Amino acid sequence: MLPAKLTLALNNQFNNELQAAHSYTAMAAYFSKKGYHGFANFYLVQSQEEHFHAMKFYHFLVTMDEKPVLQALAEPKNHYADAMDVLESSLAQEKDVTSHIYALVTLAADLQEHATASFLDWFIEEQMEEEKLFRDIITRMKNIEEGGEYFLRMNDEFAARRMEEG
């Protein structure tokens, strides 16, 4: 069993990951409505990945003889000004997740909970990759028009994206 404070924090992150999946589904809906199904696919894959992350927390809690506790999800942002607004919201969301992971790492270290610290190492690497992914896409999107030729090439590229489990 884990210290109660750590169990609560892990459950909160379990739910944060579910909330992130929920948000990415709403972002996919923005692109689906506009007919950009490649971008929609990109975000649906993001949603699946966040759910996968949530389940890693679920299984860790169970392994540590703790109960995963589901919380209510907040309504995600459903309206965006444009594709760049979606991408910038995505990067902000990933930065928020990173800050929560770092807080968990600090708490695990303070409590000398080595199993949790080891478990969280994977998430540190994952968050570095996620933030870089969105920074790179934002860089590619700067100075191009939503619906323009290069945007449509990106849409085609994203249509082929599939979830990678790690």
Whether residue 10 has pLDDT greater than 80: yes
**What gap in Å lies between CA 56 and CA 54, rounded to an integer?**
5
Does a structural domain hold residue 63?
A: yes
Other Cβ atoms within 10 Å of 121 Cβ, number: 10
Does a structural domain hold residue 16?
A: yes
The total of structural domains in the chain comes to 1
Per-residue confidence (pLDDT) for residue 157, from 0 to 100 = 94
Does a structural domain hold residue 165?
A: no
Please, are residues 34 and 152 in contact by the beta-carbon 8 Å criterion?
no
Q: Summarize pLDDT for 73-88 with one digit per residue, the tens.
A: 999 999 999 999 999 9
Could you list the residue range(s) of the whole structural domain that residue 39 is in?
4-69+78-159
CATH of the domain at 84: 1.20.1260.10
Does a structural domain hold residue 94?
A: yes
Per-residue confidence (pLDDT) for residue 93, from 0 to 100 = 97
| 17 is known to lie in a ligand binding site | yes
Please, are residues 113 and 83 in contact by the beta-carbon 8 Å criterion?
no
Per-residue confidence (pLDDT) for residue 165, from 0 to 100 = 56
Does a structural domain hold residue 85?
A: yes
Q: What separation, in Å, do the N-terminal and C-terminal C-alpha atoms of the chain show?
A: 26
Does a structural domain hold residue 42?
A: yes
Look-up: residue for tokens 């249509």? 159
Average pLDDT over the chain, rounded to an integer: 96
Q: Summarize pLDDT for 25-43 with one digit per residue, the tens.
A: 999 999 999 999 999 999 9
**What gap in Å lies between CA 43 and CA 94, rounded to an integer?**
13
Does a structural domain hold residue 166?
A: no
Whether residue 163 has pLDDT greater than 80: no
In which element (H, E) is residue 150 found? helix 149-159
pTM: 0.93
Q: In the predicted model, what is the mean pLDDT of residues 36-51?
A: 97
| 94 is known to lie in a ligand binding site | yes
Task: Extract long-range pairs of 162-165: CB within 8 Å, 24+ residues apart.
Answer: 162/45, 163/45, 163/48, 163/49, 163/52, 165/52
Per-residue confidence (pLDDT) for residue 166, from 0 to 100 = 53
Q: Summarize pLDDT for 104-143 with one digit per residue, the tens.
A: 999 999 999 999 999 999 999 999 999 999 999 999 999 8
| 93 is known to lie in a ligand binding site | no
Does a structural domain hold residue 41?
A: yes
- Tokens representing residue 129 in the block: 């990759």
